[in-house]
Amino acid sequence: MLTLLPQYQELFLYNLQAVTQQHQVWRFLCGRLFCLDVKDAFCSSLLIYNFRIFERRFGTRKFASFLLGTWCLSALMDFLLAQAFQFLFDYEVEELPAGLLAPVFSLFVPFYLLIPRMPVTQVLGHIHITNKSLVYIVGLQLLTSSPFMWLLALSGLISGGLYHSNVLWLQKLLFVPMWVSRIGRYILEPLFSSSQPSNETPLGMGATLDIQRQQRMDMLDQQLLLAQYNEARRNTRHQPQSGLLQWTRLFPSLRHRGQNRPPLQPRPQAQTPPSTQPPLLDNSPVAEEQVARLVEMGFSRIDALEALRASNNDINMATNFLLQH
């Protein structure tokens, strides 16, 4: 809209000189919320949409608190970095790119620290492509879109590191109040939420059929896991167990998934009475790197080992199971 109405763009410029010399503090609000460049708006929106994984893990209120805290901290960092650049190179930074850009760069801090890097493929035999490569490419595109975008990126990374590490108890000082969260839940959520897609696929969807089939298969897989978990939990509720819940006993079918496990040798059947003791835990080897990734995400080592053994060393399935339980 501001592109179509250029006479109003002056009100939304992120002009540091106007803030310091003319005391137009309101530019910290207008100039740091609305993007004047369509490419910056598209890249930042795409990155925020990709970072929704933190909203699913931490909750909407904590995710909004992270954005609010880094937005406030980055305003101070923008001013300090501009002053430091002027002191070192004798060049005054008058204007910075407008928009919600510094909080977007701050989200790269938990993305780098908490999200495991899973290799997908290789290019030219040496360059590894992971599940995080596309996000870094979009961030690099946003970084190179403006001359002083690097200053906002550095400000966002510093702010994200400070807020994520909770320096000076920033998470208790800068957060979204509960009453604001409730207002958003009852007012904004009904406006922006959408209904679940119907099972009927309209004509002309074309290339999305494979995606819909994959999503349906993933949903059925999750429902199967939950059904097996609930059934095993009901069956073992009255059995004495010590320690952690043995997921490998609850999900025996998961052990045989994949082709990386050697075939099972047939065992002679012996006429022995059925044992009342629960079966022993599967002592299959677990990759230590995958265990470390799950531990870095906040899970205990015991839970990570049990989940990886139950999912046949599939870290994605193990992560989903740990998040759901």
Tokens of 113: 């620290």
How confident is the model over 229-242, as pLDDT tens digits? Answer: 677 667 655 554 44
Q: Could you give the CA distance from residue 36 to residue 95 in angstroms, rounded to a whole number?
A: 13
14-15 and 95-96 strand pairing: antiparallel
Strand positions, DSSP E, 71-199: 95-96, 119-123, 127-130
4-13, 34-43, 45-54, 111-120: least confident range:
4-13
How confident is the model over 163-207, as pLDDT tens digits? Answer: 999 998 999 999 999 999 888 888 888 887 766 555 444 433 444
**What's the CA angle centered on 42, arms 146 and 176, to 5 degrees?**
95
Q: Could you give the CA distance from residue 68 to residue 66 in angstroms, rounded to a whole number?
A: 5
How confident is the model over 268-284, as pLDDT tens digits? Answer: 444 444 444 344 344 56
- Residue 263 near residue 296 (C-beta atoms within 8 A): no
117-126, 278-287, 300-309: least confident range:
278-287
- Residue 105 near residue 160 (C-beta atoms within 8 A): yes
Mean pLDDT of 111-135: 84
CA distances from 118 to 231, 268, 278, 289, 318 (A): 32, 40, 34, 11, 13
Instruction: Give residue 215's pLDDT.
Output: 64
Check pLDDT > 80 for residue 298.
Answer: no
Instruction: Give residue 244's pLDDT.
Output: 45
> Which residues, in sequence order, are CB contacts of 51 under 8 Å at separation 6+?
107, 111
Mean pLDDT over all residues of the chain? 78
Which among 217, 194, 215 is positioned nearest to 205, based on CA atoms? 215
User: Greater confidence, 127 or 265?
Assistant: 127
Sign, CA torsion 32/33/37/42:
positive
Instruction: Give residue 261's pLDDT.
Output: 44
Tokens of 139: 């961030």
Backbone phi and psi for residue 47, each to the nearest 5 degrees, phi listed first: -70, -40
Instruction: Give residue 102's pLDDT.
Output: 94
Instruction: Give residue 82's pLDDT.
Output: 93
